[in-house]
Chain A
Amino acid sequence: MSAVPRRTLAVALLAAACVVASVVPPIESSSVRLDVQTHHLAHAVIIALGLALGLVIASARPVREERPAWLLVAIVSPLMAMLLMIPATYDFTESHPLLHALDHLVFAALSLLTAYAGEQYLRGVGWAAAVALEMMAVGAAFGYGIILTR
């Protein structure tokens, strides 16, 4: 199998995984109420998929000279993603499955954009941006909107 179809296949699979992970759980299990930590971790999974998708798409065209405008996107996208992860909104979104699914899709899109824009700024930067965003997403599960230390 040549490199290009392999990438295309990876893109298709990751995109499908992003959509499924974003849409199916909120709609299929709309009666289930997740605790804040699990909800954060679920977002971290969606974000990881979006980041992987962004990196695979970007790998088709490595950028070897700085393109500053993409850096702005790579910085703003993870900020937006983290701003969307407000625990106070979880109860509301869980009772509105479509909105919840849309919320997840925005997470996936912002993650994709983070990694892709990083790689479009300069090769290698997308990976760094991806690690940073995933670290924040997972990190949020251990104290943002939740008290674990008693």
Chain B
Amino acid sequence: MSEPALRNDAAASRVMWIYMLTGVAIFALMALLGLTMRMEQAKWIPLDPTMFYAIMTLHGAGMITAMALCGMGGLWYLMNRERALSTLVAYWAYALVVAGVVAVLLSVFPGKFGAGWTFLYPLPFIGAAWPSWATGLFLLGIALVNVGWIVWCTQMFGCVVATYGGIRGALAWDLVFHPKRFAASGRHAPPPQAFAALVAAVDGLLAGAAGMLVGIALIVHWLSPSIPLDPLWAKNLTFFFGHTFANLTIYMAIALVYVGLPRYANREWHTSQVLAVAWWGTLLFVALAYFHHLYMDFVQPRPVQYIGEVVSYLAAFPPAVVTVFGGALLIFRSQLRWTMGSMFMFAGMVGWIVGGFGAVIDATIDINSTLHNTLWVPAHFHTYLLEGVVLFVLGWIFHQLEERSAAQSSLLMRWLVALGIFGGGAIFLLAFYVGGADGVPRRYATQPPPGPEISAWASVGIIILLIGFVVCLMEAVRLARLRRAATP
């Protein structure tokens, strides 16, 4: 590597670590808040309901932002290897997101804003148990996170469009429709991670624009309550923003697997026509899937409800059939090196499938009418966030540490971490699914039976899971120190 390239790589690596470590730190804090909520529902600890809903709001907004930060940092690093990106822009995006996180934190502690991360109009303004400034600060915080997200998406969009010859090149259009001509031209298709960047950028910008519109409208309404907002309009925009932002976290994180897993398998994860078309589908489905959040809204136009159901089903195909199946084929008979990194990446794909399956069940209108307000909903998204996105991120972190230290974790350590994170995680998640199937309502500080018993099991699961994370963290620090020791 030339000296400027080395400098660029070091600067890019710094950007990645800053994003990822911030994301992991926020994740850890939010996990503790999650434990607090489950312990309160289990009646192990007393918690004022106002505080419970404030914590629930922070937990939701904070977790999604934490995962987004990890994905943003990782994908930015990968795309910087395709085309040198401005670190300044990356730091602007980071600063805006972190400023937003601080504002949201202050709106909850001490503000006690508790309308939920979905901040559905008119909930933040009517009968609020928190001061008005907390509402304003929360909305401002979310808006700042969104502006940071838009800055990042814009940079990614510019990157893929400039690197691969416009949108057509970034979509690998010619590879799909004119493969012979494409091969003869000597051009290379974008690598798999570039599709993740394109989808995150395009859907992210659309969602960011929707979020900005509803954000400005809500802030203006907060300043001048006489300005009315259409509740259905606000809900559509809020979920278009929120669902897409949350959903994209896993599509950003999978890019890390596209690059990391092949190194363990000594095989290449190349761009095929099928992979390109699958990502076209994802581009469309991620943007339209949010409609499944509005099944309960009888005033929502009916055709949109069917679109929501069909698209939610279709959204499962590209990850399941192409990415996860492709990952399984990549590993099959490859004599995969099992390390902490590859273990997390593989398990993350399993978590994605399980969580996705739970999501597809819930996206079925008939079933949704029963499950919508139950713990089934947090069950599915906790599965693909905790046992999907988080594992992809941890897999990448360990991949980086293992490569730099030229060392790996012992079998005993891998078992300890696996038992903690997958075992504890399974207990924790199963409690959500069982509770949901049994009709235990979500977003309730005080649950009807069998909620408290199930919450107790969930709390045990989280505690085991957190022990697993602490062991994992200690192992990461050990590997990081090995690298330092090896560096003169």
Contacts and interface: CB of A to CB of B under 8 A. Distances in A.
Nearest to B233: A143
A79 B146 CA distance: 12
A139 B207 CA distance: 12
Contacts of A136: 209-210, 212-213
A79 B147 CA distance: 9
B216 interface: yes
A145 B154 contact: no
B224 to A, nearest CB: 6
Interface in B115-170: 147, 150-151, 154-155, 157-158, 161-162, 166-167
A12 interface: no
Given A125-B158, A132-B205, A135-B206, A82 B216 contact: yes
A136 B241 CA distance: 13
Contact of B162 (A83, A87, A123, A148): A123
A145 B158 contact: no
Interface string A122-136: 111100110111011
A66 B85 contact: yes
Interface string A106-147: 000000000000100111110011011101100110111111
A66 B206 contact: no
Interface in A87-119: 87-88, 118
Contacts of A75: 147, 150-151, 154
A77 to B, nearest CB: 12
B233 A71 contact: no
A142 B233 contact: yes
A21 interface: no
Given A66-B89, A147-B228, A147-B230, A71 B213 contact: no
Interface residues of A, number: 37
Contacts of B217: 140, 143-144
B397 interface: no
B158 A135 contact: no
A8 to B, nearest CB: 25
Nearest to A69: B88
Contact of B230 (A68, A83, A131, A148): A148
A149 B162 CA distance: 42
Contacts of A82: 212-213, 216
Contact of B158 (A66, A140, A146, A147): A66
Contacts of A143: 217, 229-230, 232-234, 237
B208 interface: yes
A46 interface: no
A86 interface: yes
Main SS of chain B's interface residues? helix
B227 interface: yes
B237 A139 contact: yes
Contact of A88 (B89, B158, B226): B226
Contacts of A42: none
B151 A149 contact: no
Interface string B19-60: 000000000000000000000000000000000000000000
A113 to B, nearest CB: 15
Most chain B Cβ neighbours within 10 Å, of A72, A82, A143, A146 = A143
A148 B141 CA distance: 28
A71 B154 CA distance: 8
Interface string B79-98: 00000011011001000000
A47 interface: no
A7 interface: no
B140 to A, nearest CB: 13
A72 B148 CA distance: 11
B213 A140 contact: yes
B205 A128 contact: yes
A133 to B, nearest CB: 8
B220 interface: yes
Given A66-B158, A68-B88, A136-B213, A148 B233 contact: yes
A74 interface: yes
A149 B233 contact: yes
Given A123-B162, A125-B154, A125-B157, A145 B89 contact: no
Contacts of A146: 228, 230
Contacts of B213: 82, 135-136, 139-140, 144
Contacts of B202: 128
B231 interface: yes
B230 A142 contact: yes
Nearest to A118: B154
A79 B212 contact: yes
Which 9 A-B pairs rank lowest in CB-CB distance, beginning with the nearest?
A143-B233, A143-B230, A122-B158, A124-B161, A132-B209, A149-B232, A136-B213, A125-B158, A66-B86
20 contacts: A71-B92, A71-B151, A78-B212, A79-B147, A88-B226, A88-B227, A122-B162, A124-B157, A124-B166, A132-B205, A132-B208, A139-B210, A143-B234, A145-B227, A145-B229, A146-B228, A146-B230, A147-B230, A149-B232, A149-B233
Given A128-B154, A146-B230, 10 more contacts: A82-B212, A123-B158, A123-B162, A124-B166, A128-B202, A135-B209, A143-B233, A143-B237, A144-B233, A147-B230
Interface of B: 85-86, 88-89, 92, 147, 150-151, 154-155, 157-158, 161-162, 166-167, 202, 205-206, 208-210, 212-213, 216-217, 220, 224, 226-234, 237, 299
